[in-house]
Chains A and B, each alone.
Chain A
Amino acid sequence: MAPAVPAVEARGLFRRFGAVQALAGLTFQVERGELYGLIGPDGAGKTTAIRAVAGLLDPDQGEARVLGLDPLRDPAVRERLGLMPQQYSLYRDLTVAENLQFFARLSALPRPVFRERAERLLGITRLAPFTARRADQLSGGMYKKLALACALLHQPEVLLLDEPTNGVDPVSRRELWALLHEFVEGGMAVVISTPYMDEAERCHRVGLVHHGRLLLEGAPERLLAAARVEGLPRPTFEELFIREIEGAAA
């Protein structure tokens, strides 16, 4: 049997925008059933990394693979990939139901399949009572949950989420994470970017991104354990991260 290809693979990605080196040799791998966090401050290159994996921009150097396929050239990738962009990307003048229906039809889902999945997604996101509400009338958290539902309708094998918890209240945040864990247990590979250090511990593995490359990578508890200094309390992720960035600068 051929060795299983990783769900997501970024190999030495470089990308420059004018004077800004957004990606500087970013490399990471995500397996099926794994929840991988790209953690880093604003401007670290997280969005560029996710767009490169989704095939939405050409890297200057390096390559990305999704399920072993080239996302820039192989349209089959898009049938198996779900993306939730950071910026508002749904149609604000369409209702919850209309947005769901639109994205379902882009994936050409048969009607009964769509009904069943939409019902399930509306149930777990608790958006069912709001199907007739326009997207611009939703709260930040509800909007993100709708965007997530739209990205999940075609049951992607790989899900990319760009700062999904940004601007979301703590309760909705916890719900969102619980949802993600549920999908990952079903075998989905999830890449999530976030500037919130406390969210790192909810991932199976994290990569600390700074200036377009990884400073540190591993399972959160192992990173923290390794960083622990004898006689001192275990550091928080934030402390660990700041120490790493300062170390990189020095």
Chain B
Amino acid sequence: MTWPALRRSLIRVGAMAAKETIHVRRDPRTLALALAMPVVMLVLFGYGVSTDVDHLRLAVADQDDSQASRALVRAFQGSGEFLVVTHRAPEQAEALFRAGDAAAALVVPRGYASDLAQGRRTTVQLLVDGADAMIANQLLAKADAIVRAESRRLAGLEALRQELPLRLRLWTLYNPAGRSALYMVPGISAFLLAITAVMLTALAIAGEWERGSMEQLFASPVGRLEIVLGKLLPYLALGLLELQLVVAFGAVAFDLPMLGSLPLLFLVGLLFLVGMLGQGLLISVLAKNQLVATQAGTLSAMLPAIILSGMIFPIENMPLPLQLLSRLIPSRYLVHSLRGILLKGNGLAVLWPDLLALAAFAAVIVTLATARFKRRVA
């Protein structure tokens, strides 16, 4: 391409981008979609979708009613993780679970205190509502820890002498408190970026068809790639702004750390956004009206970003076919690199495969969209 031809081409891309910017500026809905929605969603997800459980509702059936049994119940309550809501007979546990009044029932058998006093081994029972596996799992772990601590206390000094040969010392790096917000926010950012980026371009091109202006564009000297680039650039800028907003909001509201490099974060975001914008483009090229484009855009961006990205469900736990499928989902690589950059301070040395995958997806999808974008009105 000669320099004057390239110059004319750049002028046309610039004209498209400038026009698109005017559309965005004059349509508050687009700006709201791009900037307000992420913050609202982040608040909802960050606070609402928390897998940290405390104040678990516990029913107690203290059949011993001794000083020792009351001490055990206090141990459960004292941690703040359990909240004793009622004292009932063990037979009533099922009814309590059914009504959702309690998530677990602790049964202390008659003779608990005397067994302990005589140095006999004794057992307390915990009935758990397993309907919500996530809560049940955490509940079991917590109850186990509390009972272990209590037995150590009861065993007293004698136990120190009979120390078990093997002990596990846990040391959690990167998210020591195990707070789900830290884990969730990078995932949510990926999901939000995916959704808005796909939607924005899907709407932008489908709108051109609906407005009738596509016919005029096709009859003008502007090329297909120039239309595509001119449409992508403003939304790319908007998407990067959104990424910045989400990370900044995460830092303020959830103490999200930023251990890695900011330029790397933007590079990852940029590659991901180009891919997502390309996906929106492809959708709007195939669906020439805004309604269909919106539906297809939301579904194709949202479902994989939630289900297959590892944002909520660990990819390692998926059946093999889904694990393989998730390799085709750009959100997976973004979630992985965002967690790496934000929480671990990972650099290019670790994250290059993610970047490569994102770049490959972007290249393929933009090529596909441009190829399917036919300069024909009928």
Contact = CB atoms under 8 A, between A and B. Distances in A.
A229 interface: no
B221 interface: yes
Given A85-B215, A108-B12, A79 B378 contact: no
B250 to A, nearest CB: 34
A106 B12 contact: yes
Contacts, number: 85
A89 B22 contact: no
Interface of A: 17, 48, 51, 54-58, 75, 78-79, 81-83, 85, 87-94, 98, 102-103, 105-108, 150, 154, 160
A107 B211 contact: no
Interface in B240-274: none
Contact of A81 (B7, B26, B219, B223): B219
Nearest to B27: A93
A79 B221 contact: yes
A83 B215 contact: yes
B221 A93 contact: no
A91 B215 contact: no
Given A51-B377, A51-B378, A102-B15, A56 B215 contact: yes
B153 interface: no
B19 A90 contact: no
Given A85-B216, A89-B212, A105 B221 contact: no
A107 B221 contact: yes
A154 B217 CA distance: 14
Contacts of B378: 17, 48, 51, 56-57
Interface residues of B, number: 28
B331 to A, nearest CB: 33
Contacts of A160: 219
Contact of A105 (B14, B23, B212, B216): B14
B19 A56 contact: no
A57 B22 CA distance: 30
Given A57-B377, A91-B19, A105-B18, 17 more contacts: A17-B378, A51-B215, A51-B378, A56-B215, A89-B215, A90-B216, A91-B23, A93-B23, A98-B22, A102-B15, A102-B18, A106-B221, A107-B221, A108-B7, A108-B12, A108-B221, A150-B216
Nearest to A162: B215
B73 interface: no
A106 B376 contact: no
B221 A89 contact: no
A13 B159 CA distance: 98
B27 A106 contact: no
A166 B323 CA distance: 58
Nearest to A105: B15
Interface centre among A75, A78, A82, A105 (most CB of B within 10 A): A105
B372 interface: no
Interface of B: 7-8, 11-12, 14-15, 18-19, 22-23, 26-27, 211-213, 215-223, 375-378
A92 B212 CA distance: 11
Contacts of A57: 376-378
A187 to B, nearest CB: 20
Nearest to B23: A93
Contacts of A106: 12, 15, 217, 220-222
B336 to A, nearest CB: 40
A21 to B, nearest CB: 14
Contacts of B22: 93-94, 98
Contacts of A17: 378
B8 A108 contact: yes
Nearest to A150: B216
A200 B23 CA distance: 39
A88 B221 contact: no
Contacts of B219: 54-56, 78, 81-83, 85, 160
A85 B217 CA distance: 11
A52 to B, nearest CB: 10
B93 to A, nearest CB: 63
A91 B211 contact: yes
Interface centre among A78, A81, A87, A106 (most CB of B within 10 A): A106
